[in-house]
Structure 1
């Protein structure tokens, strides 16, 4: 005879916002998380799309980890460029290279595909071609050079802000652009609601304001310009977006934020 559990003793499910935030952390990082209670379905209806609202906070945590490594490298008197590369390596370790992989796939697909089907096929190929390698070299090189030009406190703040701002426009991209594939990750997650788009923007702006003060607005503009540029390319090449496009947009937006900060802080010095 099965043992019946009293309803009063059953664990109460976690609030939806904690599930969405945890899902964002699981999706964007390799950090292990304990179970937070069952979702209302395989991933709960709309949970993946809602989780995008929390992407900027996860990005801020990733940036903070990179900033800690940069500060440690500086305390050991390592050259600024070495510290910048180590900081970026720490962020890649945390994210599993998720965004870098997307940027490389987009570069290969857009650069090597002659039509939509071929571009999507190349982007799904696990191998990295010459366009993808060059995209990674330029992405890491540009971000590292921009970081190395900043003093340590500014570099730490820049990494935190860039981590948040480079992810705050992804929900808007997911809402504006249709999925390019019917069976891809982007199609499975669905389009985020406007409330999710606004939540992501609020989180991104709040983190940037706390980290950068008066420089938050120009860096926000730079990040959104980067996301918009990648979105326009994706519309032209694919007619929509994929998970790889989100990765490419994050990389371009992060580079734009860091370059903007290095220019503004350098000009003020």
Structure 2
């Protein structure tokens, strides 16, 4: 269970009963979809409780704020750094330097505002929102795991490289299978819509980043997770809350 707790501690702010062991770090990616399910369950509970007290818009703002708090803003930070880097329209080295800068630029702020606006507005009109709130975090972290495995990592050192090296074919298969199975249980036949949307978002972001940089970074993984979550909410809304 230490590898699971390592994934939970890294991807969320949820306290865990063990200390993170560097040896468990490369093995933790197999549990990313399960961490997504934990996040989804907490979001559903939060959404259902707040719906008893507040109107839809207030509820959706509070749920989105809780979503950011649960993840510690980790993926949102990656989204902002990626937007700053790609939006600067500089060469490869300058782009990477901008992405590593701890300061947030105008493009990063705009990207965060727009993404949070999408989540808030979608959740306002999604009622009930149980299925998309469960499926979106799982799909995002399943897609992130696939991106770690299938696309080159840019830096010669870093957390992402260790994750990629530890993601053996068996672990990758377990992660993708478990993520798909969770979504299938939650969404039924609409799993194809969710997985298709996830693959499309991951593929488009990877295509843009690979053209500009030649590989992905940890910030890009976070950007992908945020984009997939927002896309799943929009897809569910566009489908007319099908279930």
1:136 alignment partner, one of 93, 112, 123: 112
Greater Cα radius of gyration, structure 1 or 2: 1
Question: Does 2:24 correspond to 1:24?
Answer: no
Provide the C-alpha distance between the structure 1 equivalents of 2:216 and 2:3, rounded to a whole number of angstroms.
22
Contact 2:29/2:163 (<8 A) preserved: no
In structure 1, the residue matched to 2:181 is 206
Question: Does 2:170 correspond to 1:170?
Answer: no
1:128 counterpart SS class: coil
In structure 1, the residue matched to 2:199 is 224
Provide the C-alpha distance between the structure 2 equivalents of 1:265 and 1:205, rounded to a whole number of angstroms.
22
TM-score, length-normalised on structure 1? Answer: 0.84
Gaps of 5+ in 2: none
1:261 alignment partner, one of 226, 236, 243: 236
1:56 alignment partner, one of 29, 33, 51: 33
Question: Does 2:118 correspond to 1:115?
Answer: no
* CA distance 1:232–1:68, change in 2 (3 Å): same
In structure 1, the residue matched to 2:160 is 186
1:265 counterpart SS class: coil
Q: How many residues align?
A: 242
Contact 1:63/1:91 (<8 A) preserved: no
CA displacement, residues 14-52 of structure 1 (integer Å, 9 cap, x when unaligned): xxxx1221111111011221227x95xxx12xx434311
In structure 2, the residue matched to 1:248 is 223
2:124 alignment partner, one of 115, 129, 148: 148
CA displacement, residues 223-259 of structure 1 (integer Å, 9 cap, x when unaligned): 1211111111221121111110000000111111111
Gaps of 5+ in 1: 1-17
Provide the C-alpha distance between the structure 2 equivalents of 1:104 and 1:203, rounded to a whole number of angstroms.
29
Q: Compare relative contact order (CA 8 Å, sep 6+) and give the higher one, 1 or 2.
A: 2
TM-score, length-normalised on structure 2? Answer: 0.93
Please provide the CA RMSD for this pair: 1.8
In structure 2, the residue matched to 1:81 is 57
Provide the C-alpha distance between the structure 1 equivalents of 2:177 and 2:120, rounded to a whole number of angstroms.
27
In structure 2, the residue matched to 1:72 is 49
- State the 4+ residue runs in structure 1 displaced beyond 4 angstroms: none
